[in-house]
Amino acid sequence: MSLLVLGTVALDDIQTSNGVKQDLLGGSASHFAMSASLFSEVHLVGVVGKDFPKRHFKLFDLKRINVESVQIKEGKTFHWVGQYDARDWNRAVTLETQLGVLDGYEPCITEEQARMKYVFLANDDPEVQMTLLKKMKKPRFVGMDSMNLWIELKKDALLRLIKCVDLFVANDSEAKMLTGELNLIKAARELRKLGPRFVVIKKGEHGVIFFCDRFLFSFPAYPIDRVIDPTGAGDTFAGGLMGYLARTGTLTCDNFKRACLYGTTCSSFNVEGYGVSKTAPLTLADVHARLRKLDKFIKPV
């Protein structure tokens, strides 16, 4: 089943203790699409500037990611400059943000895309996310992600959007910030009251917790001893999760577990390299090989 993802397509500059990299392919939709495209046909919705390097379009093409609804506008591609401290890879420090063509962007999709059943609203302005969602005709399953910036700047718009989705994917600090609850289990419960039937809390190196009315489960992250750049790990996780759901189409406990394990596995590759350098060349065989190790790592007995 096809999967439509709206989100940012960015050029990232990343500074870590491992060094500095510039103009990496980044953005929530790019990272999401890298892993989701392993499982499903992915249609990317977003905007870039005229400066967007052709090699990145080539990569999308190579990954069979449909970019017909990626607008190319006069101006500069959204640019993010971020920094990580190796003592806390879970927290990115934003040094600079240049919105560029994101400013005033309105998503447009084709008739065919509007009828797609699986939709993910990757981190973006919640008003832009809502605009896209309103263009969808009876989607079967809608997931979304956001970030602290939107909780601060556009909380009302964000809450309106959350009410309309099936799955809300948040990291632990966002979940606490949005609900005012310090306990994650309570925070997830509050998030579900805002609308979504399904909530996933991402905890970076500590893994994920999944909540719905019938079950909850938790998996640790795959153990990585050399983190290079965690940018996009959460988007990569969501891509694996949604890609697997769109491929399999069932909303059972076991299927959500499998989806989260695929997401966890994909994101473990993401953090091992800058940008999409480790997720772009990934094959399903790579993912399965690591998933088998992950299964062993977390299986009770």
Binding residues for its own copies, rule: CB under 8 A, are: 86-87, 182-186, 189, 203, 205-207, 209, 215-220, 223-227, 254, 257-258, 261, 294-301
CB of 74 to its own copies, least distance (A): 44
What minimum distance in Å lies between the beta carbon of 152 and its own copies?
18
Contact between 279 and 290 (Cβ < 8 Å)? no
Least Cα distance to 236 among 221, 254, 225 occurs for: 221
Identify which of residues 50 and 292 has a Cβ nearer to its own copies in the complex.
Answer: 292
Q: Closest distance between its own copies and the C-beta of residue 271, in Å?
A: 11
Q: Which is nearer to its own copies, 218 or 277 (CB)?
A: 218
For 67-91, b where at least 16 C-beta lie within 10 A, e where not — what string? bebbbebebbbbbbbbbbeeeebbe
Closest to its own copies by CB, 130 or 216: 216
For β-strands 88-98 and 79-85, DSSP reports them as: antiparallel
**Rounded to whole angstroms, how far apart are CA atoms 181 and 279?**
34
Nearer to its own copies, 141 or 256 (CB): 256
Min separation Cβ 257 and its own copies, Å: 5
Nearer to its own copies, 97 or 255 (CB): 255
Q: How far is the CB of 127 from its own copies (least distance, A)?
A: 31
Nearer to its own copies, 80 or 219 (CB): 219
Shortest distance (Å) from residue 157 CB to its own copies: 27
